[in-house]
Amino acid sequence: MPVNLQQEKRAVSTLAALYSLRMLGLFLVLPVMSLYGAQYEASTPLLIGIAMGAYGASQALLQLPLGVVSDRVGRKLVIIGGLLLFVIGSLVAALSTSIYGLILGRALQGSGAISGTLMAMVSDLTAEQHRTKAMATIGACIGLSFGVSMLLGPVLTQVGGLSGLFWITALLGVAGIALVLFVLPEPPADTLHSPHRDTLPAPSLLWRVLCDTQLLRLNAGIFCLHMVLMASFVVVPHLLETQLGLDRQHHWEVYLPVLGGSFVAMIPLMVIGEKKRLVKQVFVFAIGALAFALLFLGAAYPFNAALLAGLFLFFFAFNLLEAQLPSLVSKQTFAGGKGTAMGVYSTSQFLGTFAGGALGGLMLHLGEPRWLFWSLALPVALWCWFASTMKEPQYLLNMMLPFTGNADIARRELQQVRGVAQVLVVPEEQMAYLKVDEAVLDQPALTALRNSWAS
């Protein structure tokens, strides 16, 4: 574990910066690629859409294996290798003159799939009691990266074109490598090969996660959400240019109030959902709001005020769902399964990104934007029904507890502690994974058990 609190803070801030640099590099092209992609040789709306989402396919394919590999060869080696692939992909895209080179570059960018490894580093370098806050900090930085990319992408592309944007993303990747080499603390030696079921997938639990109907609803949901996001961004930049008559470099003037306002608007519902234990109700409401936004955009986008109102509602629902879904996965997963569940969840997210790019390009090629919005509303409506059948989430926290001695005795002792709802004891790891109700948890009894095992 980290030597002191100062080193822990440095580790969290560095990992948050690494996440932000990489996600900023992936997101910067989102608001502009459908506009500038037509300049590339052999480009079609379908191929432009595939180029937008290509990073999702390679990321979905490689992120679970790379997370497991990092447990064998070391976190830093995998992170540096992933960032190098990201830089190479950015350079390929920057130097490309055809749409196929652009697709290859985007796929290479995504192949540096280090999200799971970075989360494992959080576990390596933070104390258990600070880990939730560290994860929340990184999550906030990812959201901030998305917002910043919506504002900077149109401005930077106007100066250097799409090629210039990829040169910038390559520099972001190089900056990330420098952070790993010179700033990020070295994980303690005893964390290599140590259990990380809270952040990394356990192959033995993969089938159980895939068969969990509650988690299946959430995985289908994140697939649908990112499919809708990517498909929408195939057409939204065109609407801002043709419908609103807004120059490309000024698109941020729409994104800033729409994104900022929608983010502020969704915060009260987030707070109410958690404090009043109405998470499911807020969740289903947000999905319904997304479906309505898509139907509304399809019907009313030719009217400027309606287009802006529809975009505001779209991002309000998107931001709310994006914030709720990881929390719901954590709540719904069984003890010891969080890392595996989050790995499958992230894979579903990136598959949705790829599917959305291809679908958006195909629909734009076949017809008017209204048909894209209306076709997207159908899977979202089905998702809304699917989510309404979900069980009420358990308001339980995940905990890891090292133990010594007999696993069966440790399991019985833990099950007798008030507030412990689920226990998974893994003898070969000498680790117990718990789901606890913090409101009624007998913390002194749990501490006494921990101390008895340590003595």
The string of pLDDT tens digits covering residues 240-266 is 999 999 999 999 999 999 999 999 999
Domain identity same for 403 and 388: no
Check residues 274 and 230 and name the one with the higher pLDDT: 230
What's the domain range around 86?
Answer: 1-200
- Please say whether the beta carbons of 411 and 423 come within 8 A: yes
Tell me the average pLDDT across 263-273: 92
Domain identity same for 192 and 230: no
| CB < 8 Å & 24+ apart, contacts of 126-129 | 126/1, 126/2, 126/8, 126/11, 126/12, 127/1, 127/2, 127/8, 128/399, 128/400
37-80 pLDDT tens trace: 999 999 999 999 999 999 999 999 998 888 878 878 888 999 99
Which pLDDT belongs to residue 219? 96
Strand partners, 424: 433
Q: Look at residues 393, 413, 432 and tell me which one is the last residue of a structural domain.
A: 393
Domain identity same for 409 and 447: yes
Please give the distance of CA 35 from its chain centroid, rounded to a whole number: 25
- Please say whether the beta carbons of 402 and 446 come within 8 A: no
Domain identity same for 274 and 186: no
Q: Look at residues 362, 393, 424 and tell me which one is the last residue of a structural domain.
A: 393
Domain identity same for 287 and 389: yes
132-144 pLDDT tens trace: 777 778 878 888 8
CATH number for the domain that contains residue 288: 1.20.1250.20
- Please say whether the beta carbons of 48 and 103 come within 8 A: no
Close Cβ partners of 292 (under 8 Å, ≥ 6 residues apart): 313
pLDDT more than 90, % of the chain:
60
How many angstroms separate the CA atoms of 330 and 313, rounded?
27
Domain identity same for 115 and 138: yes
Q: Is the dihedral of CA 425, 426, 429, 430 positive or negative?
A: positive
Which pLDDT belongs to residue 120? 81
Domain identity same for 83 and 227: no
Which pLDDT belongs to residue 27? 92
Angle at 407 between CA 403 and CA 410, to 5 degrees: 60
Which pLDDT belongs to residue 121? 84
Residue 1 has pLDDT above 50, yes or no: no
Q: For the chain, report the end-to-end CA distance as a whole number of angstroms.
A: 19
How many angstroms separate the CA atoms of 385 and 443, rounded?
39
Name residue, tokens 């420098």: 178
Please give the distance of CA 205 from its chain centroid, rounded to a whole number: 21
- For the chain, the domain total comes to 3
Residue of 30, 46, 25, 300 lying closest to 170 (CA atoms): 25
Domain identity same for 21 and 151: yes
Residue 220 has pLDDT above 70, yes or no: yes
C-alpha distances in Å from residue 416, one per residue of 132, 401, 420, 427, 440: 25, 15, 8, 19, 13
Q: Indicate the SS3 state at residue 247.
A: coil
Residue 404 has pLDDT above 60, yes or no: yes
| Residue 201: count of CB within 10 angstroms of its CB | 27
348-371 pLDDT tens trace: 999 999 999 999 998 888 878 899
Residue 200 has pLDDT above 90, yes or no: no
Q: Look at residues 177, 200, 223 and tell me which one is the last residue of a structural domain.
A: 200
CATH number for the domain that contains residue 420: 3.30.70.100
Strand partners, 401: 432
Residue 129 has pLDDT above 90, yes or no: no
Q: Sorting pLDDT into bands at 50, 70 and 90, what band is 2?
A: very low
pLDDT more than 70, % of the chain:
96
Q: Sorting pLDDT into bands at 50, 70 and 90, what band is 195?
A: low
Most confidently modeled range among 233-242, 287-296, 369-378, 436-445? 287-296
What mean pLDDT is reported for the chain? 90
Helix/strand/coil (H, E, C) string of 409-422? HHHHHHHCCCCEEE
Torsion on CA atoms 78, 84, 89, 90, rounded to nearest 10: 130
Check residues 210 and 195 and name the one with the higher pLDDT: 210
Domain identity same for 96 and 132: yes
Domain identity same for 252 and 306: yes
Domain identity same for 251 and 371: yes
Residue 239 has pLDDT above 80, yes or no: yes
Domain identity same for 137 and 93: yes
- Please say whether the beta carbons of 284 and 381 come within 8 A: no
- pTM surpassing 0.95? no
How many angstroms separate the CA atoms of 15 and 267, rounded?
25
Angle at 341 between CA 111 and CA 264, to 5 degrees: 85
